[in-house]
Amino acid sequence: MIVHITLDNAPDRAVVAFTCRGRATGKMRNELDVRMVEPLEERFTLATDEGPFHGGDASAPPPLALFIGGLTGCIMTQIRAFAKRLGVTLNELQVDARVEWDWAKADRVYETAPKSFHLDILIDSNDPADAQLELIKAAKKGCFIEQTLGQSNVITHRMKTEAGWVAVE
């Protein structure tokens, strides 16, 4: 029997976990098997590719396009979901996002650093501006991607060798 989690039957706290296995399949194309493994099970197949700059065929969006799409979609989803719960009517919703990184050549490769994340939210609602602002504040706190970007994170990398896994410092 499949149990659907709703706000009424959800636990007070839970771990939300995703896994992704990527496999190189073309010049620069990657096939991605993305799975939500907690608290629900869902599965998605995605792909990324690069254009000619990196020697790809542009057969799928580059990873950065999925990144900004994920950020934009995340805040929009939270606004729409929380509007129902907070009683704010949305006649129309639009989010314009702009993400910038610094890019610098470093010998034969390059290095990057995040520069800015801008989200312009346009809500058409008959409800007071204060209610709309509270909605956006709640959505910001509920957006997994925005909350991840808003803090310092540790990302670990390991490489598989014949002797086992080696940490990449």
* 83-108 per-position pLDDT tens digit: 999 999 999 999 999 999 999 999 99
Q: How confident is the model at residue 3 (pLDDT cuts 50, 70, 90)?
A: low
Q: What is the set of domains in the chain, with CATH numbers?
A: 1-61 (no CATH), 62-152 (3.30.300.20)
**Over the chain, what is the mean pLDDT?**
93
- DSSP class of residue 94 equals E
Residues 112-136 have pLDDT tens digits of: 999 999 999 999 999 999 999 999 9
pTM reported for the whole predicted model: 0.87
Whole-number pLDDT of residue 1: 57
Which residues, other chains included, contact 121 with Cβ-Cβ below 8 Å and sequence gap of 6+?
75, 79, 93, 94, 95, 136
